[in-house]
Structure 1
Amino acid sequence: MCGITGIVDTLGAREIDAGQLERMNNAQWHRGPDEGSIHLEPGVGFGHRRLSIIDIATGQQPLFNEDGSVVVVFNGEIYNYQSLIPELQALGHVFHTKSDTEVIVHAWESWGEDCLQRFRGMFAFALWDRNRQTLFLARDRMGVKPLHYALLDDGRLVFGSELKTLLAQGDLRRDLDPQAIEEYFALGYVAEPRTIFKQARKLPAGHCLLIRRGQPVPTPKPYWDVRFTLEQSITLPEAEEELVRRLRESVRLRMIAEVPLGAFLSGGVDSSSVVALMAGESDTPVNTCSIGFDEPAYNESAFAQLVADRYRTNHRLEVVGSDDFDLIDTLARLYDEPYNDSSAIPTYRVCQLARKHVTVALSGDGGDETFGGYRRYRLHLMEEKARAALPLGLRRAVFGPLGRWYPKADWAPRFLRAKTTFEAQARDSVEAYFHTMSQVREPLRSQLFTPAFKAELGGYSAIEVFRRHAGKADTDDALALIQYIDMKTYLVDDINTKVDRAAMAHSLEVREPLMDHELVEWMARLPSSLKLQGAEGKYLLKKAMEPHLPNDVLYRPKQGFAVPLARWFRGPLRQRVRDALLGERMAATGWFERKTIQSIIEQHESGARDHSVPIWSLLMFDAFMRHAAPQQ
């Protein structure tokens, strides 16, 4: 795991400022504290920070081909590199290292852009081919590793693993993108390809960008997508056997390392499955770590201990206080743009714990999206059955007004809380799922923004992110559609972003066996009934893992990495919320209605409504403004 950065003149061969490049590289020191190097040639500057994992002795970067005409900087792991080396040697390539990085330069020489089809792993890399005068940027299929870039006003292109590297260069315009702000308050993150800054972009997952010097910079193009065909006919026992075989292979590939290796163990199905299969592939006890909370409602460490005891792992548990809110400013600096997933706090802590004992940790991330595990999937399918009973036009006419007129009654018995049901029936499938995933929902989001800010938006709504991906999903299956949307949005921009920044803050490499693209493709061919059956999510995974895990782990209610936001904002953070959200910094933007913010705070403090998510979103936006945004 590493950090990459660079400056390339897309128009000619102007000299690259070595001082700028060094600043960019040092801005991501935390991603690779073991070594740091830069490469300069006319019009090209590459920087690399290294966290040594594979081929520690000779795998330094930037790395070159035999004659030095191709250079690469690379972040991630190519898990199948050992099988590609002899194939490339047979084509005449001479290897000078035993690293997966060198596979990239030789694969590019032999297969060009198609080299991406041969790589199995998590990666973001930049490659310069001097003979072809070509820059090639690429990001892995599932978006595990990040890559940001910007075309500057003078024709230079800058790139880096994190936005802070682009900011360190100094010439990036820092004006904020109103549409990115709308996406943040709707979704809790800025959805790729946007960043919070107008001039900067994220290279989308499964995309590459090929730039030929002297030619206009094109838009990135996709080289992979997942297709939910659901066409594979297979019995349940056959599917269970095949799934375990594929999981074992995926785990085995991710256990290749020359440094201490372990796993996160939350006590949930996904991480427990990974640990169980790791134990079967290891001659020594697996290193596992868990975070526990001093508040029982948020603590699932007992279930992690069940798995640790069964497989006799070297288990480390660290209990953290439920009032662990001192990380707010740290998180704002880590993420470089507004990001509101509060589970980033325990994720930061578990990465901090893991790094005390290992350099590489396997995780269970991606399991909910791949296997169909979220509770919201079941609820969405229930709503879809109801929506199917009437045409959309009639539903909008009948249920739309009912949803608007019926009062919000969080205080009332559940059978009287009909507002949400009416609203859900007035929406189409994509609208409904967007509403489910929204952090600050309509109409509150509209009430939060000033007329001036809405004018800047020009009618844009973050639902367009979901509609764009839904248009490419190529499926009419209700579960498959929202799995696809999640894989393109929530998984990449929330989960993977959270884990990458939290792990790299501690120079820890995290690997995700459940996001192996071959496993994801295979699961997408299976019928949805094997993923969600009745009220049971992850049906196939749970059945397949029954011989390997206790039923108490497999079939308990899903818990998640939650923190007690509602209590914080009525207690220890009450004054901080008021000072930040009603202070001069937020007011000076001209974007937020002070009366709406005041109402949100008062309703929450009184207990009339739970506005913890909107308050957290505003609090993290204020933290971003203090640490990363330009002065308004």
Structure 2
Amino acid sequence: MCGIAGFSVNASLPPGLTERYLHAMGDAIAHRGPDATSLWHDTQFAMVHRRLSIIDLSAAGTQPMRSPCGRYVIVFNGEIYNYQILKQQLLEQGAVFNTQTDTEVLLKLFQRDGKDCLTHLNGMFAFVVWDTKLKQVFMARDRLGKKPLYYYHTNQCFAFASEIKALLKLPFVPKQIRQDAVKDFFFYQYVPDPKTIFAGLLKLPPGHYLHFSLTDKVLPQPTKYWRLKFKVNGQRSSGQIQEELTALIDDAVKIRMVSDVPLGAFLSGGVDSSAVVGMMAQHSATPVTTCAIGFASEQFDEVQYARQIAERFATSHHEFTVKENVTDSFEQISRYFDEPFADPSFIPTYFVAKLARQQVTVALAGDGGDESFAGYSKYVVDQTEHGLRQRIPAAIREKVFPSLARLAGLSQATPFRKARSLLTALATSSDEAFFVTNSFFSAELWQYLVKGDFAISTADYRPSEITCARYQEADAEDHLSRVLYTDINTYLPGDILVKVDRMTMANSLEARAPLLDYRVVEYAAGIPSSLKLHGKDKKHILKQSLKTLLPEDILYRKKMGFSVPLSQWLSKELRPSADRLFYQADSGLAQCFDMRKVQQLWQRHLAGEHQFTQELWSMLVFEQWWQHYMTDSNIADNKVVV
């Protein structure tokens, strides 16, 4: 696990400036790789690597790594879990290795197969290869987007990095807000790929590569090399599926336990993390190290369930309770996100990563099960809405329901809010409805708050276009499969995996997710939807598969997720920050919203009307991000200058 960055400019730089740029970029992401920093450059291309040593701790594994022939140079962030199998195949073909690293295996595989090397990889990765002979750049990201890769490309320059903050160190990378991305953020609570919050800066989407020459006149578009297909294999019985699924997940866990440094697991006490820990225990000769986070509020505390699993599998268990200094934590932790990011569970994720790092360098996690096996409550709601949509005549839904929804007005009282959401969802198409039901801002609230030129410039843009495009492109026949495909291609990489990557890397900890092994994801896509969401039983087939491993009360207890007492935090611990930021003189929110209306919503919240909790939180997050990244005096604006 590491941090990578680099650049190329169509002009010669003064002596020493290339190294200064590289050091500045590397220092910006030092938390991703505190063990070592290394530079490489020729007259046209420059790369820096920050190393967190996991496999082959010797200096032989140093990156950027150059092929023996000298033609290719690679920087790589991630882990290739099947690298030993690939290495053996290469050895049989006459390859010679100088290290024990997966990086060298990847480099030799690229030498042999070029872009087709991607089809052989099982892992999480983002890497860039510079071809010194053809003057070409090849960059790729893993199938599901576990590792990040950002880039900036014009006819004059190219730059890439694991995090945006490294790109912002370069004087030729602008820092201009992309307005449609701001609108996306408030509706999704993150900025979906390939956009970033900055105009001109892009995310390489999951499952894509980018291959181009520095002499190309036309800027290239990323190429998709992997697409998830929901093709049901009707020949398998439920029992056969359970047996095959268990074996596949067990293998995914086993290959992720290869490490030259201490290894443990995150444990929430939910189905997914409990299954991972249980399978780890079966493959470990010593007690598995587990870490759990709790809250002082019993409503959000799940440590009792984590403790139950820890006792069942005799783990070396560690716990931490989040109960104070939330304000300081929020302001400091949020700085690791280079874009506004409003999933409040990033705070406990940071603390569980911090706790784990005190014990281990690698931690396995349960991420991915909900998206593949329909584990969220929203899927039950969506199926209910979809069923109603099928039964109520379109003429009634499309002509009558919008008027009824408008009668609910802007009231955020729970009955009105739910009625408005349901009526709006029923009045539209299935894909649009999934967006409406799961948006964090309503169109009415956006119109109420947005102002001036920002309102005009974003008036014709609909964030739902992203959800609808993914839904429509899904290679699936039923609605639930299309919804799962949509989440796997939006919410999973844009929210869940960003959160886990930034919070673990903030603590120089590597996180591995067995349920996001692409083989597990592909297998799950071939399971009939009725076995995933069985009535109201979420993750039905996965639970059935785990009955011999986990107790019934863990498998079938009510899912809490990584919830936080957000309303309480806003009213108490975070109130000083909100009071300051919502009345900031150089407010970023004032660029797009009527601040008098924002302040009115805030006062209503303080008066006990907590219906706008998530919306106010997202505005607080946006303002905190703005003050850190967009104000002139901030460290994030300190570019390297000649």
Report matched runs for 1:131-530 at 5 Å: 131-152=133-154, 155-215=156-216, 216-321=218-323, 324-406=326-408, 418-530=419-531
In the aligned structure 1, how far is the partner of 2:295 from the partner of 2:410? 33
| 1:415 to partner: Cα distance | 10
In the aligned structure 1, how far is the partner of 2:270 from the partner of 2:301? 12
1:25 matched to 2:56? The reply is no
| 1:417 to partner: Cα distance | 6.0
In the aligned structure 2, how far is the partner of 1:463 from the partner of 1:323? 37
Q: What is the percentage of aligned positions where both structures have the same residue? A: 39
Gaps spanning 5+ residues in structure 1: where?
none
Which is worse superposed, 304-313 or 590-599? Answer: 590-599
In the aligned structure 2, how far is the partner of 1:411 from the partner of 1:96? 65
| 1:410 to partner: Cα distance | 6.0
| 1:13 to partner: Cα distance | 7.5
The residue identity in structure 2 corresponding to 1:385 is: G
SS in 2 for 1:244: helix
CA shift digits 1:390-444 (9 cap, x unpaired): 34454120111011113567657x6996333322211211121112221122210
In the aligned structure 1, how far is the partner of 2:478 from the partner of 2:12? 51
1:583 matched to 2:584? The reply is yes
CA shift digits 1:9-49 (9 cap, x unpaired): 4x587777211111101111110111110001110101000
| 1:323 to partner: Cα distance | 6.4
CA shift digits 1:515-539 (9 cap, x unpaired): 0001101110110011110111010
**Cα distance change of structure 1 residues 468 and 418 upon mapping to structure 2, 3 Å threshold:** closer
In the aligned structure 2, how far is the partner of 1:393 from the partner of 1:59? 65
**Cα distance change of structure 1 residues 415 and 492 upon mapping to structure 2, 3 Å threshold:** closer
Q: 2:558 aligns to what? A: 557
CA shift digits 1:30-81 (9 cap, x unpaired): 1011111000111010100000000111211111211221110000001000
Assess if the C-alpha contact under 8 Å between 2:589 and 2:623 holds in 1. no
The residue identity in structure 2 corresponding to 1:374 is: Y
Q: 2:7 aligns to what? A: 7
In the aligned structure 2, how far is the partner of 1:427 from the partner of 1:271? 37
In the aligned structure 2, how far is the partner of 1:537 from the partner of 1:588? 39
SS in 2 for 1:132: coil
CA shift digits 1:106-135 (9 cap, x unpaired): 111111110000101000000011122211
How big is the alpha-carbon RMSD for the aligned residues of Structure 1 and Structure 2?
Answer: 1.9
Q: 1:51 aligns to what? A: 52
Assess if the C-alpha contact under 8 Å between 1:32 and 1:49 holds in 2. yes
**Cα distance change of structure 1 residues 323 and 390 upon mapping to structure 2, 3 Å threshold:** farther
In the aligned structure 2, how far is the partner of 1:160 from the partner of 1:201? 11
The residue identity in structure 1 corresponding to 2:400 is: V
Q: 2:102 aligns to what? A: 100
Assess if the C-alpha contact under 8 Å between 2:422 and 2:437 holds in 1. no
CA shift digits 1:289-309 (9 cap, x unpaired): 101111111111111111111
CA shift digits 1:118-177 (9 cap, x unpaired): 10100000001112221100000010000001015x621110000011011232111100
CA shift digits 1:336-383 (9 cap, x unpaired): 111111100000000000000000000001110011100000110010
The residue identity in structure 1 corresponding to 2:286 is: T
In the aligned structure 2, how far is the partner of 1:609 from the partner of 1:588? 20
**Cα distance change of structure 1 residues 13 and 526 upon mapping to structure 2, 3 Å threshold:** farther
**Cα distance change of structure 1 residues 415 and 620 upon mapping to structure 2, 3 Å threshold:** closer
The residue identity in structure 1 corresponding to 2:479 is: A
Assess if the C-alpha contact under 8 Å between 2:228 and 2:475 holds in 1. no
Q: 1:623 aligns to what? A: 624
The residue identity in structure 2 corresponding to 1:472 is: E
The residue identity in structure 2 corresponding to 1:185 is: F
SS in 2 for 1:8: strand
In the aligned structure 1, how far is the partner of 2:321 from the partner of 2:578? 26
CA shift digits 1:296-339 (9 cap, x unpaired): 11111111111111110011111221662322222331001111
CA shift digits 1:466-508 (9 cap, x unpaired): 1221221132411111111111111101000001000001100
In the aligned structure 1, how far is the partner of 2:55 from the partner of 2:417? 59
Kindly report structure 1 stretches of 4+ aligned residues shifted beyond 6 Å: 12-16
Q: 1:595 aligns to what? A: 596
The residue identity in structure 2 corresponding to 1:548 is: L
- How many residues get paired? 629
**Cα distance change of structure 1 residues 96 and 322 upon mapping to structure 2, 3 Å threshold:** same
Assess if the C-alpha contact under 8 Å between 2:56 and 2:101 holds in 1. yes
SS in 2 for 1:418: helix
In the aligned structure 2, how far is the partner of 1:313 from the partner of 1:81? 29
**Cα distance change of structure 1 residues 233 and 447 upon mapping to structure 2, 3 Å threshold:** farther
SS in 2 for 1:283: coil
SS in 1 for 2:360: coil
Assess if the C-alpha contact under 8 Å between 2:140 and 2:209 holds in 1. yes
Assess if the C-alpha contact under 8 Å between 2:246 and 2:545 holds in 1. yes
Q: 1:546 aligns to what? A: 547
Assess if the C-alpha contact under 8 Å between 1:566 and 1:610 holds in 2. no
The residue identity in structure 2 corresponding to 1:324 is: V
TM-score, normalised relative to structure 1: 0.96
SS in 2 for 1:557: coil
In the aligned structure 2, how far is the partner of 1:112 from the partner of 1:508? 31
Assess if the C-alpha contact under 8 Å between 2:189 and 2:342 holds in 1. yes
The residue identity in structure 2 corresponding to 1:251 is: V
Q: 2:636 aligns to what? A: none
The residue identity in structure 2 corresponding to 1:184 is: F
**Cα distance change of structure 1 residues 479 and 214 upon mapping to structure 2, 3 Å threshold:** same
Q: 2:637 aligns to what? A: none
In the aligned structure 1, how far is the partner of 2:467 from the partner of 2:335? 28
SS in 1 for 2:98: coil
The residue identity in structure 1 corresponding to 2:69 is: D
Assess if the C-alpha contact under 8 Å between 1:285 and 1:314 holds in 2. yes
SS in 1 for 2:94: coil
| 1:630 to partner: Cα distance | 4.8
SS in 2 for 1:434: helix
Assess if the C-alpha contact under 8 Å between 1:322 and 1:563 holds in 2. no
Assess if the C-alpha contact under 8 Å between 2:424 and 2:436 holds in 1. no
**Cα distance change of structure 1 residues 595 and 524 upon mapping to structure 2, 3 Å threshold:** same
| 1:631 to partner: Cα distance | 4.4
Which is worse superposed, 55-64 or 495-504? Answer: 55-64
In the aligned structure 2, how far is the partner of 1:184 from the partner of 1:346? 21
In the aligned structure 2, how far is the partner of 1:445 from the partner of 1:417? 17
The residue identity in structure 1 corresponding to 2:314 is: R
SS in 1 for 2:73: strand
In the aligned structure 1, how far is the partner of 2:454 from the partner of 2:397? 32
| 1:588 to partner: Cα distance | 7.7
In the aligned structure 2, how far is the partner of 1:147 from the partner of 1:392? 43
CA shift digits 1:250-287 (9 cap, x unpaired): 00110000000000000010100000011111111111
In the aligned structure 2, how far is the partner of 1:569 from the partner of 1:42? 52
In the aligned structure 1, how far is the partner of 2:284 from the partner of 2:163? 34
TM-score, normalised relative to structure 2: 0.95
